[in-house]
Amino acid sequence: MIWIKPLVLENIKIAFQSIRGNLVRSVLTILIIAVGISALVGILTAIDSIKNSITAEFTRLGANTFSLQSRSMQVHIGNKRYRSKNYSYISYFQARAFRDRYNFPAVVSISVFATQTATVKYESKKSNPNITVRGIDDNFLQTAGYEVEYGRGLSFQESFDGNNVALVGSALVKKLFPKDVDPLGKFISVGNGKYLVVGVLKDKGSGFGSGGDQIVLLPFTNVRQYFPRPQMNFRISVMPKSPQLLDAAIGESEAVFRNIRGLNTTDDSDFIVEKSDNLVNVLLDNIKYVTLAATIIGFITLMGAAIGLMNILLVTVAERTREIGIHKAMGANSHSIKQQFLIESIVIGQLGGLLGIFLGILAGNGVSALIGSSFIIPWQWMLGGVVLCLFVSLASGVLPAIKASKLDPIEALRYE
């Protein structure tokens, strides 16, 4: 079996000579294969980057965080939608009662949405009317994944007494305050109220357009007073001390809140428990359809490349018929002739695959750079691309190789 190795190397040399002899056709085929592989590897790498970015964004909320929210029910009959019931909102008193009565090793926070169209002012400067204002308590930063860059958070007394103090996002600070001005201790106007800045939040990022740093956090009792509206709906967030206690914490929270809401044992819960990773799972589940579409696109392109490669090899067989006859006359058997053309097909396929993998990694990580994710080397997709190119090469080269191996040496020598 030792004699096979030099024969394979010789066939590889012949394959490269053939590629140089038919440079334009070979390069075009290599590029077609490269486009197919780069589309596949690039899109799948970009999807992996998006998955990592989504997971990282929501991990900031804490993998063991969940919230209690009100819900509404809709009934679909055919293409029509009917409102069957609106469940009651979570009131201020219910939220406070839950925080007081939830005796579990966990951190509980209360928050309420005020507006996302506020204009914030400091002296003569003001922001665009797109600032989110939210009412929070002293535990909100911990359960929501925010950190204070400098200054401090809200105290228990401030959040429950409704003091006019505020935490501001880093992007808003850059907009309102000159670089040489310390925002701490300064007063800003939010709506009709003036608030003392006691802390600046650490840069959190926009998180797919969420504007996470264009935000003002006020005491929730203050928001209740200055941003009143009927049926103000509060949100309760819970972070167990240990992730292992998550299921037990959820069960306990449901029991406590059902009691606060006055539900009987036979009544359905008129609120929902939403884990912080629920939205992640929904998004990742939907991304699988994009992955499927990318795979189909890549396969269609590779089918075109396979047809082009087969066409080149068939033309090559016709052009090298006399050469094949000389080889057979000198003792080459059908197996060696078949091997020669298969190796030529594999060489072209792998060249296209390597170029496609390189371009795909660049394209995929270009998307990764745009969304602020880390650089990814998709080893599984790279290996898949090599295997796929090998399959395409073999499928394209079998017919030309068989045709070349079956040529009659006498007829081949007479071929012009």
pLDDT, tens only, 35-48: 878 877 887 788 77
Helix, strand, coil fractions of the chain, as percent rounded to 5: 55, 20, 25
pLDDT (0 to 100) of residue 101:
93
pLDDT (0 to 100) of residue 209:
41
Asked if 283 and 100 touch (Cβ cutoff 8 Å), the reply is no
Asked if 227 and 198 touch (Cβ cutoff 8 Å), the reply is no
Phi then psi for 229, rounded to 5 degrees?
-160, 155
pLDDT (0 to 100) of residue 400:
76
State the average pLDDT over residues 114-132.
89
Q: How many CB atoms lie within 10 A of CB 16?
A: 14
- Say whether pLDDT at 197 is over 60: yes
- Say whether pLDDT at 200 is over 90: yes
Closest by alpha carbon to 373, among 38, 146, 56, 147?
A: 56
- Say whether pLDDT at 84 is over 60: no
pLDDT (0 to 100) of residue 216:
94
pLDDT (0 to 100) of residue 38:
82
Asked if 196 and 155 touch (Cβ cutoff 8 Å), the reply is no
Q: Between these two residues, 279 and 20, which has the higher pLDDT value?
A: 20
Q: Which of the four pLDDT bands, split at 50, 70 and 90, describes residue 85? A: very low
pLDDT (0 to 100) of residue 82:
41
Average pLDDT, the chain: 79
pLDDT, tens only, 147-187: 899 899 999 999 999 899 999 998 899 889 988 889 999 99
pLDDT, tens only, 15-74: 777 777 777 777 877 887 888 788 778 877 887 777 777 666 665 555 578 888 886 544
Closest by alpha carbon to 400, among 344, 350, 341?
A: 341
* Percent above pLDDT 70 for the chain: 82
Taking CA atoms, 255 is separated from 63, 226, 250, in Å, by 22, 33, 9
pLDDT (0 to 100) of residue 83:
42
